[in-house]
Structure 1
Amino acid sequence: MNGLLLRAASNGELLEMIYQDNKGNISQRRIKVLAVGEESFRAFCHIRKQQRTFKLENVLSVGPERKIRRGA
């Protein structure tokens, strides 16, 4: 996972993440990774429209942003 986060930070890629906070709430977020540490990382969350710090241990899933096209 660290490799994906580091690559996204250097390339400016958007990622989709499923995250569980300390209270057990699960959310899906679109993020742009800014910095990666040993236990956490900083990212701009497009849902909250602000920088957030996320614990690596609370990330349930992370991957490249999916481009879904709808309609005929």
Structure 2
Amino acid sequence: MRAAGEGTETATTTAFPWRAAMHAGLGLLRLDPDRFWRLSPREFAAMTGAFAPAAPRLVRAGLEALMRRFPDEEIR
């Protein structure tokens, strides 16, 4: 008998990243193990920043503006 989901990965699915989730919850957030295992997936996602707005990406115009503001110094 297999645990739920064990051995059912296909080319379009991947296993849940338990190692990373446990590292985030128990290691980085320092949650008590009982609290960690009682979290809902939505609570865990919120605690790990899944719902935070994405940081704006640097576009070419922004890069060019930074290059004008902070030009490289010529090395002699």
Q: TM-score range by the shorter chain?
A: under 0.3
Per the normalisation by structure 2, the TM-score is 0.23
Higher-Rg member (1/2): 2
Structure ranking higher in strand proportion: 1
Per the normalisation by structure 1, the TM-score is 0.23
